[in-house]
Amino acid sequence: MKLVYTNQLDGFEPGKRYRVPGLFRSIERDATTVTVVGDYPEIVTAYEDAGVGVEVVELPVLVVVGTQASASGELSQLLADLQAESGAMVLLVEGMEGGEIHRPESGDLALRLFEVLGTIHGSVGELTTERDGLLLTVDELRDEVEALKRAAITPPAGEADEIAALKAKLDEAKVPYRANASKESLEKLVAELTKE
C-alpha cells in the first residue's frame, strides 16, 4: 500500500492512502512505500526502522513579498496563531479519542469546542442518570404488578375456606360457576338458591 502523510485537502490520487501527519501514533504494517510531505522526522524514522522506503517532500518556504515590516510581522503572528490553534485542536481530538476531554491551554476555537463538548458531556450524564432512574421505576412497577397478580390469584387465608364451602353448596345443587369466580359472585349464586 502506498501511504502519504500530508495536510492537503484536495488533489488526492487514486491507489494511495492519505493520513494527517499530526495524528501519527504508529506505523501501518501494510504500507509498502511512504511519502511524507513536510518536516515530520518521527514518521520518517519510524518507517525507516521498520524497513519501509520513505520519500520526503519538502514544503515550499513561504516568502512574504512587500516592503512593510509590519505586514511581515502580522503574517508571522497569524501563522504562529494558526499553528497554536491547530496544535490545541490536535490535543483536544487526541484526548477525545482516549475517552477523556482535556482543556486546551490556548486556541480560541479549541477552547470553544472544549466548552461545547463539556456541555454535551454534562447533558449525556443527566440523561444517563434519568434513564437509570426510569429503569429502577420500571423494575419496581413490575414487582408491584407481580405482587398484585399473586394477591388476585390467592384469596386471603380465611376467605379460602368460605369460598370452598360456597363452591361445595353450588356443586351439590349442580349450579355452574366459573372456576375463578370471586367470593361475591359465589355468594350471589348461593343466595339465589335459597330464593327458589
**pTM score over 0.75:** no
- For the chain, the domains span 2-57, 73-143, 155-195
Q: How many CA atoms lie within 13 A of 66 on its CB side?
A: 10
Of 3-7, 18-22, 133-137, 138-142, the range with the lowest mean pLDDT is: 133-137
Element (H, E) at 19: strand 16-19
CA distances to 44, 59, 61 from 35, rounded to whole Å, are 9, 13, 19
CA distances to 32, 158, 168, 169 from 161, rounded to whole Å, are 88, 6, 11, 13
Q: Give whichever of 77-81, 86-90, 155-159, 183-187 has the largest mean pLDDT.
A: 183-187
Q: Is the pLDDT of residue 194 over 80?
A: no
Q: How far apart are CA 2 and CA 82, in angstroms?
A: 30
Q: How far apart are CA 95 and CA 99, in angstroms?
A: 6
The C-alpha cell of 71 is what?
Answer: 505586514
Of 21-25, 40-44, 63-67, 152-156, the range with the lowest mean pLDDT is: 63-67
Query: What would the pLDDT profile of 38-95 be if each residue is shown by its tens digit?
Result: 999 999 999 999 999 999 999 877 665 555 555 677 888 888 888 888 888 887 787 7
Q: What are the residues whose beta carbons fall under 8 Å from the beta carbon of 167, sequence distance 6 or more?
A: 177, 186
DSSP state of 32: S
